Structure 1
Amino acid sequence: MNKRRVKSNRFLPEYVSRFKDRHGKERLRFRRKGYPSQYFTAPLGTEAFREEYHRFNSPEAIAEAREAAAAARCVPGSVGDLLRRYLSVPERLGPSPVTQAKVRGILERFCEGREDRPVKGITFEHIDAIIAKTRVKRIDAKGRKVGGVEAARKLRKELRRFFGFARKLGWIAVNPVDDAQPVKISPNERSSGFYTWTEDDIATYRAFWALGTKQRLAMELMLWTDQRKVDAIHLGPQHIRGGKFAIRQSKTGKLLTLPIAAPLAEAIAAMPDSDALCFLLTEWGRPFSVKGFGGWFRDQCDAAGLPKCTAHGLRKATMRRMAELEMPNKTMKSVSGHSKDDEVARYTEAADQERLADGAIKRIVEWEKSNLAPRLDANEA
């Protein structure tokens, strides 16, 4: 019997078998490990059969099976059910895959262990307790530093959207996060973040790493494009259009067109000729990963005698320069790609306050003189 079955299946596509059902009708079935078992409706050899075969044998079939399994396991109206529905449209999580992955992680950690709890049973008191716990810095099971005030703020922000979705579904009448305690930052919790490079730091680095070195090019790329590491390290000749960089930001999805500053153009030209698609490559000739580049660049800063300097600090240095030149926020955002003024304010905290204050008072004095002079002349007349 088995031999006849093998013989009858000899000329069938891979993972397809033929059998007769209890009514004596010949059927074709797709069976592959890790994929859902499915039956063909179209006759063998037709275009419709080929379309069904490709659909059954595609990665989407696995995703659909997992989604169906997850839906079957979910308790209707539960936190797990809400998460499954919320994640079904990635755009709800953010504009880019990078942001979506981060938000997905935040929500999955929140839902872990709470999957079967009914959404309508979550109150603002529960939210307060969860956020308070998140606010405490600690080491997790994998040895990573987690928690803190920023983590608590991000969690509250995403939970507000998450339960707002539940309210739209009609599962709850009031969003419990709206009544939860806002996350306020005390003076001792406030952090200035990454160290901002000074002009002396930049000069020191340039003196140590000469033109023609990968280390120098890395610094000039970060400084003159003012982009996040994930975008700066993947720049290459294909991003230059009409003598300018065309950069699609990974986090925001924004398309920026930036002029190539002379110092950056000089650093690119000083490098050996290459057909690579990235200006910056590892010692194995491959593109850097974001974490790999961050660690490598920190080592180059240490070698130059700059232990406080990081790649992200160069992004802040460019913002500092623009602030000290008294450029308006809209101008600074056109370079960095920031969307909100409070983000710009956070990045420009290291601007030279004394120089800005001197310039402000000087301009007020000049304004006062120019406005008082006509009045004095009128009074004398």
Structure 2
Amino acid sequence: MNRFLPKYVSRGMNQHGTERFVFRKKGLPTKYFKSALGSEDFLAEYHRFLNTEAEVVAPPITRAKPGTVNELLDRYMSVPERLGPSEVTQGKIRAILEDFREGRGEYPVAIVTFEAIDKIVAKKMVKTGTGNKTKGGIHAARKLRKELIRLFDFAVKAKMIDANPVRLSEKVKTPAGERSHGFHTWTEEEITRYRDHHRLGTRERLAMELILWTDQRRSDVVKMGKAQIKDGRLPVEQEKTGETLWLAVPGQLLEAIVAMPPKHTNPFCFLITLRGKPFTKESFGNWFKKACVAAGLPHCSAHGLRKATLRRMAELQMSNKTMKSVSGQRSDKTLAKYIEKADQTRLADSAISQLAAWERSLGDGEKSDLMVGDAS
């Protein structure tokens, strides 16, 4: 009879006819008692079995079928550095590629054509959802095609295919009449208007000055604090790129920092919520957008303010290397997109003035030599 046995314990006989007691509970491993029923050792074994953590059963290892999109993606993503320099970027690229995998994993890589890629990218151009849940669009399509080029370049190197079909696909073009420069670049008038509305001593003003004078992304701005300042500089380890920067704190930014009431900041975080917690990058972006709307600048954003800093540096004719030392960008091509709103008139005036001054500095003999050189 088992009714007098402890819960989860049953009686049985082994193959030699010897009585055995066994512990069985769902989610826990099956155990056999070594001690005599009713003894203190039996009771100790029972409590030990009862408090054993459930065994973690490793899922069976499933290997992708050779030559398929699944195998290609698994091999490509097995080295995270192929996706990007930081965990944040790697996560974003991994999400793009996993979305591409959906419904296509079992397809042979060899049958993927440029026409198929054109259809996939075209589908990505269609926006779906609303608000913060919007998916797709021209930028998403460009990003997808870019990552697929890298993925199928790897397939070529891995000898899974002979040529990259994505490179033969159509580039993503902006529809006529819809040319976009991305986030609006703040003008000097807009910067002044924001300052006039949000005075020194407010979180809104400090947020603007932090972005304007450090030229950093919101993910890095929310981590900045007074305690980090050393020798008049703020250290920044960029979340997206992994770049480490030391940025000087100018008087305008220092003034905004000092003006803050103690209850609205703390030594380790310049910007905190009304509950005293640090902002997340998402909540900061939404909060700062509301600050822009309140100042009558609904078309402005945190990212556009970062572009304004680079515009200023471009108009002051700073070198690309100098600008990248502040922004942390690595590519001149990427930088060019940020500074395309630099004042063309001001730059052209400066260029013509420099050319005129240079010519005036030449003697008549030097001018003659130049003319002869041109004739030849």
How far apart, in 1, do the equivalents of 2:130 and 2:52 lie? Answer: 39
What SS does the aligned partner of 1:256 have? strand
**Alpha-carbon offset, residue 170 of structure 1:** 2.9
Could you say which residue in structure 2 is the equivalent of 1:248?
Answer: 237
Q: Distance in 2 between matches of 1:262 and 1:9?
A: 76
- In the alignment, which of 18, 22, 33 is matched to residue 31 of structure 2? 18
Corresponding pairs, count: 336
TM-superposed CA distance for 1:250, in Å, is 0.8
In the other structure, the counterpart of 2:36 is none
The answer (yes or no) to whether the contact 2:232–2:249 under 8 Å persists in 1 is yes
Which sits farther off after the overlay, 201-210 or 76-85? 76-85
CA positional deviation for 1:101: 1.5
Q: Structure 1 pair 352/189, CA: closer, same or farther in 2 (3 Å)? A: same
Stretches of structure 2 that go unaligned for 5 or more consecutive residues are 11-20, 34-47, 370-376
The equivalent position to 1:236 in structure 2, one of 217, 225, 244, is: 225
List alignment gaps of at least 5 residues for structure 1: 21-27, 38-64
**Which of residues 90, 99, 114 is equivalent to 2:89?**
99
Secondary structure of the corresponding residue to residue 234 of structure 2: strand
> Which one of the candidate residues 152, 170, 173 is aligned to 2:159?
170
Corresponding position: 1:349 with 2:369: no
Aligned residue type for 2:333: D
Tell me, in whole angstroms, the C-alpha distance in 2 between the residues paired with 1:353 and 1:147. 33
The aligned amino acid for 2:251 is A
SS in 2 for 1:241: coil
1:340 matched residue in structure 2: 331
> Residues 375 and 104 from structure 1, CA distance in 2 versus in 1: closer, same or farther, beyond 3 angstroms?
closer
- 1:109 deviates by 1.2
> C-alpha distance in 1, partners of 2:130/2:352?
54
Q: For residue 163 of structure 1, report the CA deviation from its aligned partner.
A: 1.9
Counterpart for residue 136 of structure 2: 147
Quick check: 1:239–1:247 contact (8 Å CA) kept in 2?
no
- 1:326 alignment partner in structure 2: 317
Structure 1 residue 36 and structure 2 residue 56: aligned?
A: yes
Q: Which moved more, 1:304-313 or 1:138-147?
A: 138-147
Which of 117, 131, 134 lines up with 2:121 in the alignment? 131
**Offset at residue 90 of structure 1 (A):** 1.9
Match of 2:283 among 292, 295, 299: 292
Q: Does 1:75 align with 2:65?
A: yes
Does structure 1 residue 277 correspond to structure 2 residue 262? no
Per the TM alignment, residue 337 of structure 1 is displaced from its structure 2 partner at its CA by 0.9
Residue in structure 2 matching 1:85, options 50, 53, 75: 75
Q: Deviations over 1:92-128 (max 9, x none)?
A: 2111122112111111111111121112221222122
Q: Match of 2:56, as an amino acid?
A: P
Query: What residue identity is the alignment partner of 2:98?
Result: E
Alpha-carbon separation, structure 1, partners of 2:335 and 2:252? 24
By how many angstroms is 1:19 displaced? 4.2
Superposition RMSD on alpha carbons, in Å? 3.1
For 1:190 and 1:32, the matched residues in 2 are separated by 60
How much has 1:338 moved relative to structure 2? 1.1
Q: 1:302 to 1:331 in 2, by over 3 A?
A: same
**Sequence identity (%):** 49
How far is the alpha carbon of 1:83 from its aligned partner? 2.1
C-alpha distance in 2, partners of 1:229/1:4? 57
Call closer, same or farther: CA 1:31–1:272 in 2, change over 3 Å: same
- Secondary structure of the residue aligned to 1:223 is helix
Tell me the amino acid that sits aligned with residue 330 of structure 2: S
- Partner in structure 2 of residue 25 of structure 1: none
Can you list the C-alpha shifts for 1:320-352, whole angstroms capped at 9, x where unaligned? 110111111111111111111122211112211
Contact 1:153 1:183 in 2 (8 A): yes
| Separation in structure 2 between the aligned mates of residue 142 and residue 351 of structure 1, nearest angstrom | 30
Alpha-carbon distance, 1:181 to partner: 2.8
Which amino acid in 1 is paired with 2:127? R
CA distance in 2, matches of 1:133, 1:158: 16
AA aligned to 1:173 is D
1:336 and 1:220 mapped to 2: Cα distance? Answer: 15
Larger radius of gyration: 2
Q: Is the 8 A contact 2:228 2:268 kept in 1?
A: no
Shift of 1:18: 3.4
